[in-house]
Structure 1
Amino acid sequence: MTSSSGSWWVFTVVVVVSLLQQLCFLNTTTTTAAASRIILSNETDRMALLEFKLMITGDPLGVLSSWNDSTHFCYWYGVSCSRRHVGRVQVLDLRSEKLSGCIPPTFGNLTELIYLLLSDNSLWGEIPLVLENCQNLLYVELAYNNLSGVIPPQLVMSSSSLIYLDLSDNHLSGALPAEVGGLLNLEELDLSHNMLHIGNLSFLRNLVLLNNSLSGGIPSEIGRLRRLQELRLSENSLEGTILSVIGNMQTLQLLDLSGNRISGSIPPTFGNLTELIYLSLSDNNLWGEIPVVFENCRNLVSIELAYNNLSGVIPPQIFRISSSLNYFNLSHNNLSGTLPAEVGRLINLEVLDLSHNMLSGGIPTSLGSCVVLGALYLQDNLLQGIIPPSLGSLRGIQVLDISGNNLSGQIPKSFEGMKLLQIFNLSYNNLEGEVPSSGVFRNGSIISVVGNGKLCGGMAELNLPPCNFIQKKKTFWRHKSIKIVILAVTGLLCLAVMGSCMLIFWFRRRGKQATLSVDDSQLLLSYHDLHKATDGFSATNLIGAGSFGSVYKGFIEANGIGNTVAVKVFNLQRNGASRSFMAECAALKNIRHRNLLRILTVCSGVDYQMNDFKALIYEFLANGSLEEWLHPVGTSTDEPPRTLSFLQRFNAAIDVATAMDYLHHQSGTPIVHCDLKPNNVLLDMDMVAHVGDFGLARFLQSVAEPSPLGHASSSIGVKGTVGYAPPGKSSILKIYKLHH
């Protein structure tokens, strides 16, 4: 029994060991086979990359020096491999490396390639047909090279998932493969600066074919691109008329057909392009009138119709397009009639070019409302009348050319304040009188007044005859009565000054409140004035409340003119309110910007109970805070609901960013707002955003100092509203250093 049991045990062990050996052998065999496949795939990708290196004839930056056996090819410069498919190349990024040579056919072995980025080099030859094997390609950039030949359909057919294809700035020719139209996911196609012909691209969103050799009429297939958002066919040789079907592409945001030979009129169907932002039809042979239907294109920011044969008047409706229009060019046409006064509605206009037309009448005074205008070109027209003094309010203008007209009268002295002018051309008009000698008129290198025979005086560089005022001055002083009047006026002024000083001294003795004006040209207001303006600071005039006080709406009448203002009264019982008042005064006394809430004056004294009283008086902005528009609550049934379009939100963001850039970089000592939130962003009647509430503002003295935040003019810490509070002192200092 014992012997039999021992034999059975030995037999069992032998069987188990044998089975384990077979299992290990099978596992080893399977693992070896899998490893062989991986090694084979790895070797194929490695050999494809080495073949590309051999085809490169120039590598001045030595970027391919790392492509050797000392490291795995997945770690070579510009190469990235997949984690899921071990050792398979997914990304080849060698953009802007000054490589020269050609693309080898072995690239077709990189079957897992997703990103092929070889733009901005000097690669030549044709695009390999074998790229059809790369069925995972999503992004292909081969722009700015010297590639030639046709676009192989195999490249287009390589991946139905292709999203981005950029072959611009090469020497490609032939027709665009019809297979491009089957790329359902293709979002952007840039084939500009080649010599291609268009095909079927019905699923595109962006089509860029500028500076190719496109000829003939605009292809009718364009009308089928219903998803298109950007169409650029400029700098080609297209002829014929503009197809009316373009007006059916209602998703179009950018249309550029400039630099062709297109004729005919602008189709009225363009009024359907309600999403259009940028329109350029310049440098063609268009004729006819400017369609009134452009007033439907409310999102237009830029219009270029220059260098055509357009005629008729400029329709006033075109100036009602959008207050966001910032570029408007109708130069070098045959437009006639007057310049409509509605041009003053374009308050965000930066460039207006109506030169080289046949416009008549006067220059509208409303142009002075275009306060951000940087360039105004009205030369070579038939304009007449005087130059409106209101143009002097264009403080940011850099180019002003009104030469070659029939303007008369004197040069307005208001032009002296145009400190940013770089080109100022008044030549060849009928202007007369003395040329101003202050401000911009001191720089003879930027001013041209030739061809105005009745002008005199001014700088010597202008070469104008002197004005004959000497005899008049002598005659003036001979009259004794004039001398008596001047002496009497001088005496009265002295008495008025003495009386003012006595009144100030008397008020101080009586303990009345004093007022401090931020701008000497503004009104001085007392507690009594503010109490009266707000009906005793009644609750019906309360328009807001914050941590340190309340804001009331008030009406102040001065010099026969009524003004609605916002009065911010500080609750001095709250800890930190007085410091907040001082911080806001310090922040606002030296800063001026169109996107900052403008302070009118300051009141600091006592109320009727002889308690301390402090208040800031601001301009009143009728549309309230950005918070009320973003999150409207409980508006009355009489008022329409407050909503902001995407463009209005975008403009508000730009306004706030502009204000922050001014505070951080252009206001002298950098200022950190510390409490930027929608409640502190106010909107005026034109929905322009203004940043206010500087009660927590901090000053940064110098980045070179060890602790600039420690020398803030305000003694309060860096605080703010929860959810909008900025980073701590060290983080702010790091951000400030990064920006400088």
Structure 2
Amino acid sequence: MKSPQALSYLSSSSHISILFYGLAITCLTSASVSASYGGNETDYHALLSFKSKITHDPYKVLTSWNHSFHFCDWSGISCGKRHKRVTVLWLDSQGFEGSLSPHVGNLSFIRMLSLSNNSFQGTIPHELGRLSRLHRLYLDENNFNGDIPTNLSGCSNLELLSLSQNNLAGSIPKEMSLLLKLSRLAIHKNKLTGGIPPFLGNITSMEMFSAAVNPFGGRLPDTLGLWKSLMVFQCGSCNLYGSIPDSIFNLSLLVNFSLAENHLTGSLPSEIGVMLPNLERLQLRNNELTGVLPPSLSNCSKLRHLEMSQNNFSGKLAIDFSKLRDINIIRLFDNNFHGNGEADDMRFVDSLKNCTKLVDLEISNCNLIGVLPISIGNLSNQIEFIHLGNNQLFGSLPSSIGRLVGLTNLNFQDNRFKGKIPTTIGKLQKLQYLYLSTNQFSGPIPDAIGNLSLMTQLYLHNNKLEGHIPSSIGNCKQLNGLYLADNRLSGNIPKQLFQLPSLNYFLILSQNSLSGSIPSEIKNLKTLSYLDLSNNNLSGNITSNLGECISLTTLKLRGNRFQGVIPSSFSFLGGLGVLDISQNNLSGRIPQFLCKWKSLEYLNLSFNDFEGDVPVEGVFANASLFSVLGNDKLCGGLVTLELPKCKETGSKKKRVPFFIFVIVIAPTLLIVLCCVYLLCKKKRNSQQSQSSGSERFMKVSYGQLLKATDGFSGANLIGEGGFSSIYKGILDSDDDKTVAIKVLHLQTRGAHKSFIAECEAWRNIRHRNLLKIITSCSSVDFQGNDFKALVYEFMPNGSVHDWLHSSENTSKMNLLQRINILRDVATALDYLHNRCQTMIVHGDLKPSNILLDADMVAHVGDFGLARLLGIELNQNSSTGVKGTIGYAPPEYGLGSEMTSNGDVYSFGILLLEVMTGKKPTDDMFNDGLNLHKFAYMALPDHVNDVIYDDAIVLQSTEANAKKVEECLVAIIKIGVSCSADSPPQRMKIEIVVNELQRILDVLQNI
């Protein structure tokens, strides 16, 4: 039995144990709370509320925002060392979508809040006005709407406020004037109205004010002259009017002054250069300013960018540019500079020799009169643009121009230059655009033009040039536009000109004295859009090879001596909008295919020798869209044409008595039917194959194909698909042509329909980026079994799939090759969808169906699942196979019919695969992640992380690295847009072609 003392001890001991246990529980609980918010529950819950309003977090930035870490260790958060309160919330460019939680206003210790370049929507919470310690607020580049909150004035310590590039409306609130510490205010690119209020002048600490691209209206208040510390003032495109207040010209610290694209009037103070000595950028373009451009601008020795174009400045251009050693850009075009009729307006050129950093000189359309000094050749070798067109310059073009080896764009059009084009032009190796049109240049086009291998567009029209078109132009491998009209050129058109596959924009040779026929090589210009050979002395038949220029939208051949009929190959030019073949010696009937061209907007057949009836369908149904004047043998047509009625093709015959039919006609008909039956039976038993195409396809037999492939040897097997096997073979012909032979597996269900679909598709299409079919074979093999095969041109570089994924192919495609291939495929789709007489849906676009020739030009093949709009080729049902898993759009899986939008989706996946090297069926794509989302999540700042390998990144200088990255981002954006789940949201294929060409142009100039 325990003593009372012992019991007392035990009792005390028990109490102490309980106490210690309770303390332990408390400590553990506190430790758990501390891990998440360290005792500061307000900041913790404010951040969780911020997170709850984010509906899309593509880079999983907020995954670290959980109970396992103290919120000071969360991504984008910085805290004060002493109190562990949030001082910085920095989450720029994270792809966030959602709204901004008003609970952010509870982060009372925050000094910087930056959410730039996301996709926040809704209004800016007025609770932000509670953040009295806030110094910097960045909400720019989002989708905020509504007004600027008035109680932002509660942020009394605010020094920087950036709300630019949103959808904010209303006026600038008066309460803004209470932010007396504000030094930088950026509100550009919104929808703000109500003018620039005078009360802003009260914020005397202002150093930067950027409000461009808002529909403010009103005048500039003179109270802005109180901003004595102002260095940047940007209010371009604000619908401002009236004069610029004098007080603004007293802001001597101004470095960047821009009021471009307004309606400002009045003149500039003559001493502006003395008053604003620190100017580096002066932009007053697109206004209505008058008076003299002050010579005192010569005193702005720091000036880098001078842009005063599109105003009404007059008087002599008297700025001494020799003092502006740092000047980079001079744009003064569209003014009225002149020297009171004196022919010495060009003396300012002499003062430019000290401007060693000058890149851009544009003083076109300024009424300048005078001779271009030889000193033009003393300008900076860094200069890239010289635009002096639309003036009254005369005399010869100095040969010293050839010293400006950095030029990419030279424009002297619409002047009065005489004499020969100097041969030194050929030294400008970087030149891409040359405009010498509408002058009085004479003599020949110099052969040295051919040295300009980067030339993109050449304009020499409306001069007095004579002699032959130099064949050296064929060396300009980048040329996409040539304009030589209205000269005195003679001789034949050089065939080298038609061997430029780059020539896809325009070729205009009209109003010359060119002779001979159109060279057959014109068939190479398969992407040319505009061709004008009018008013020359061209003769002979119009070559049928013109029918291969399938991208033509305008064709003008008027005023020549062409004869014969309109070639039947013109039926392939279904994309023409304008066809003018008037004033020739053409004859024959008007082809019926002209009635079927839906895009044709104007047709001129006048003053030829056409005969027969004029159709009344298509373009011929509207008399204002066509002309057939001067064709005396035509008849019929619309009543408004007042042509004679067409005669009946034969006299009416007496009805033949029935007994004569029985005695004479019936036996004859019976004999004919018997002959047809015997002929068909003989054909079926014959071993000779029959081509599925027209007579232009060669005929091959089963035996020939067997021999060509060495008995369909496995050694010659180069590919297999669901319906076919493909063999490499050599046809026994004059040139022993290497071909690819696609043998159908007729025992496979759907193979026969696939064969029919492909034959029908190839019968209707021809394009440089489509695989060329040679012939087809439909016969029986030596065992009497049905045999069907298609014979194609062999592609020596295999398929895009081989280059991307084959372990045997160790070569890599560089970036330009990949984008060229994508452009080729997009061009082919654009043709199939928009430029065929009947729209064709490919239905199975994927890397293995994109084949590469010896020059790595892409050719789309395999039309086994193709469908002509309105014509079932393979009888696809809603439950049939449509496309390939991973490349087929999601709507096909829901039973939708095949459409051009489906092809665009497949192209988007193809693009992303080419750029990332990831198949859409890659093992990494699971749990909701697919190739589309993989690429989307990388935009815009992590694109380099998903690009296939280092081999495709161009070797570029640091200066060009940004351009390359921008191009990569633009390419991935195209793929993401094309592969959107919703068909209406997918990019149009014609826009894809233009965008890829633009990207190629940028990369090729790096």
Task: Give the letter for the 2:707 counterpart.
Answer: K
Deviation at 1:269, TM superposition (A): 1.4
Paired with 2:563 and 2:666, the residues of 1 have a C-alpha distance of 34
Aligned equivalent of 1:411: 565
Q: Distance in 2 between matches of 1:557 and 1:488?
A: 46
Aligned mates of 1:130, 1:581 — CA distance in 2: 84
Residue of 301, 307, 325 corresponding to 2:479: 325
**Alignment partner of 1:171 out of 298, 309, 312:** 312
Further displaced range: 328-337 or 353-362: 353-362
Query: Could you tell me which amino acid in structure 2 is paired with residue 78 of structure 1?
Result: H
1:193 and 2:441 matched: no
8 Å CA contact 2:566–2:591 kept in 1: the answer is no
Aligned to 1:24: none
Helix, strand or coil at the partner of 2:558: coil
Does 1:306 pair with 2:443? no
Q: Judging changes above 3 Å, is the alpha-carbon distance between structure 1 residues 360 and 321 closer, same or farther for their aligned structure 2 residues?
A: same
Give 3-state SS (helix, strand or coil) of 1:262's partner: strand
User: 1:617 Cα shift?
Assistant: 3.9
Structure 1: distance between partners of 2:691 and 2:536: 50
> RCO (CA 8 Å, sep 6+): is it higher in 1 or 2?
1
Q: Which residue of 2 aligns with 1:236?
A: 391
C-alpha separation in 1, matches of 2:614 and 2:425 = 51
Which AA in structure 2 matches 1:125? S
**Partner residue of 2:894 out of 710, 714, 726:** 710
Cα shift at 1:723: 1.1
- Unaligned runs of 5+ residues in structure 2 are 1-110, 112-132, 137-151, 191-204, 282-300, 338-347, 616-627, 636-645, 652-664, 867-881, 921-930, 934-975, 989-1006
Question: Match of 1:5?
Answer: none
Deviation, structure 1 residue 628: 8.8
| Percent identity of paired positions between Structure 1 and Structure 2 | 28
Change (3 A) 1:315 1:78: closer
Corresponding position of 1:97? 215
Q: 1:283 is aligned with what amino acid?
A: T
How far the C-alpha of 1:289 sits from its partner, in A, is 0.9
1:566 aligned counterpart, secondary structure: strand
Distance, in Å, in 1 between the alignment partners of 2:234 and 2:515 is 58
Note closer, same or farther for the CA distance 1:656–1:95 as it changes in structure 2 (3 Å cut).
same
Match of 1:465 among 610, 632, 654: 632
Task: Quote the offset at 1:375 in angstroms.
Answer: 3.2
1:312-711 equivalence runs, <5 A = 312-322=467-477, 324-347=478-501, 348-405=503-560, 407=561, 409-414=563-568, 417=571, 418-429=573-584, 431=585, 433-440=587-594, 446-450=603-607, 452=608, 456-459=611-614, 462=629, 464-466=631-633, 497-499=676-678, 501-503=680-682, 517=692, 522=697, 528-538=703-713, 541=716, 551-556=726-731, 563-568=737-742, 590=761, 592=765, 594=767, 595-599=769-773, 617-622=791-796, 651-661=820-830, 668=839, 675-676=846-847, 681-684=850-853, 688-692=857-861, 707-711=891-895
Q: Which amino acid aligns with 2:826?
A: A
2: CA distance, partners of 1:262 / 1:177: 26
**Which residue pairs with 2:980 in the alignment?**
732
Letter in 1 for 2:312: H
Aligned counterparts, 1:43-62, within 5 A: none
> What is the CA–CA distance in structure 2 between the aligned matches of 1:337 and 1:162, rounded to whole Å?
52
**Cα separation, 1, equivalents of 2:334 and 2:521:** 43
* CA distance 1:458–1:303, shift in 2 (3 Å): farther
Kept in 2: contact 1:326–1:350 (CA 8 A): yes
> Following the alignment from structure 1 to structure 2, what is the Cα–Cα distance between the partners of residues 470 and 69?
88
Provide the residue aligned with 2:918 in structure 1. Answer: 723
Between the aligned partners of 2:833 and 2:483, the Cα distance in structure 1 is 34
Output the CA distance in 2 between the equivalents of 1:325 and 1:488.
67
**TM superposition shift of 1:533:** 1.6
1:247 shift after superposition = 2.1
* 1:78 and 2:188 aligned: yes
Q: Return the alpha-carbon distance in structure 2 between the equivalents of residues 245 and 623 of structure 1.
A: 47
Shift of 1:739: 3.6
Tell me: CA distance 1:609–1:148, structure 2 relative to 1, closer, same or farther (3 Å). Answer: farther
Q: 2:380 aligns with which of 209, 225, 240?
A: 225
Partner of 1:14: none
Could you tell me whether the CA contact under 8 Å between 1:140 and 1:165 is conserved in 2?
Answer: no
Q: Is the 8 A contact 1:357 1:380 kept in 2?
A: yes
| Distance apart, 1:258 and its partner CA | 0.9
| CA shift for structure 1 position 308 | 1.0
Answer whether contact 1:441 1:459 (CA < 8 A) is retained. Answer: no
Q: What is aligned with 2:107?
A: none
Instruction: Give the whole-Å Cα distance in 2 for the aligned partners of 1:282 and 1:645.
Output: 36
Rate the CA distance shift 1:665–1:226 in 2: closer, same or farther, 3 A: same
Secondary structure of the 1:383 match is: strand
Summarize deviations over 1:535-591 as a string: whole Å, max 9, x none: 234576566789998754323357x78643223568999xxx988998898689548
Q: How does 1:138-157 map to 2 (within 5 A)?
A: 140=258, 142-143=260-261, 145-146=263-264, 149=267, 152-153=272-273, 154=276, 157=279
Contact 1:593–1:659 (CA under 8 A) maintained in structure 2 = no
TM-score, normalised via structure 2 length:
0.52
Counterpart code for 1:596: L
2:741 maps to a residue whose letter is V
Residues 1:66 and 1:607: Cα distance change in structure 2 (over 3 Å): farther
1:424-448 CA distances to partner (integer Å, 9 max, x unpaired)?
A: 444444x264443533389997224
Alignment check: 8 A CA contact 1:388 1:412 kept: no
CA–CA separation in structure 1 for the residues paired with 2:242 and 2:774: 67
Amino acid at match of 1:118: G
2-structure distance, mates of 1:471, 1:375: 40
Alpha-carbon distance change, 497 to 351 in structure 1, aligned in 2, over 3 angstroms: farther
Matched to 2:253, the amino acid is: N
Secondary structure, in 3 states, of the residue corresponding to 2:174?
Answer: coil
Counterpart in the other structure of 2:174: 68
**How much has 1:271 moved relative to structure 2?**
1.3
- Aligned to 1:310, the other structure's residue is in SS state strand
Deviation, 1:501, is 3.5
Q: Distance in 1 between matches of 2:395 and 2:588?
A: 53
Amino acid at match of 2:729: G
1:696-736 deviations in Å (ceiling 9; x for gaps) = 99569xxxx99454226799x99986614353899632365
Aligned to 1:6: none
Return the offset for 1:458: 4.9
RMSD: 5.8
Cα offset for 1:531? 3.1
- Whether the 8 Å contact between 1:90 and 1:114 is mirrored in structure 2 is yes
SS of structure 1 residue aligned to 2:448 = helix
Matched, 1:262 2:433: no
Q: Is the 8 A contact 1:523 1:601 kept in 2?
A: yes
Distance in 2 between residues matched to 1:372 and 1:681, nearest whole Å: 19
CA displacement at 1:255 relative to structure 2: 1.8
Alignment coverage as a number of residue pairs: 650
Q: Which moved more, 1:223-232 or 1:603-612?
A: 603-612
Q: Does the CA contact (< 8 Å) of 1:416 and 1:441 recur in 2?
A: no
The Cα of 1:294 is off from its aligned counterpart by 1.3
Of 236, 244, 267 in structure 2, the residue corresponding to residue 118 of structure 1 is 236
- Residue 597 of structure 1 aligns to a residue whose secondary structure is coil
8 Å CA contact 1:105–1:130 kept in 2: the answer is: no
Equivalent residue of 1:359, what SS?
Answer: strand
Given residue 66 of structure 1, which amino acid in structure 2 is its aligned partner? I
Equivalent pair of 1:663/1:672 in contact (CA under 8 Å): no
Q: Is the 8 Å Cα contact of residues 408 and 431 (structure 2) preserved in structure 1? A: yes
Amino acid at match of 1:690: H
Q: Which amino acid aligns with 2:462?
A: Y
1:565-622 Cα offsets, whole Å, 9 max, x none, are 223568999xxx9889988986895484622334556779998899999865432245
Contact 1:45-1:110 within 8 A present in 2 as well: no
C-alpha separation between the residues in 1 aligned to 2:722 and 2:648? Answer: 67
Q: TM-score, normalised by structure 1?
A: 0.68
CA distance in 2, matches of 1:230, 1:630: 40
Aligned equivalents of 2:527, 2:670: Cα separation in 1: 45
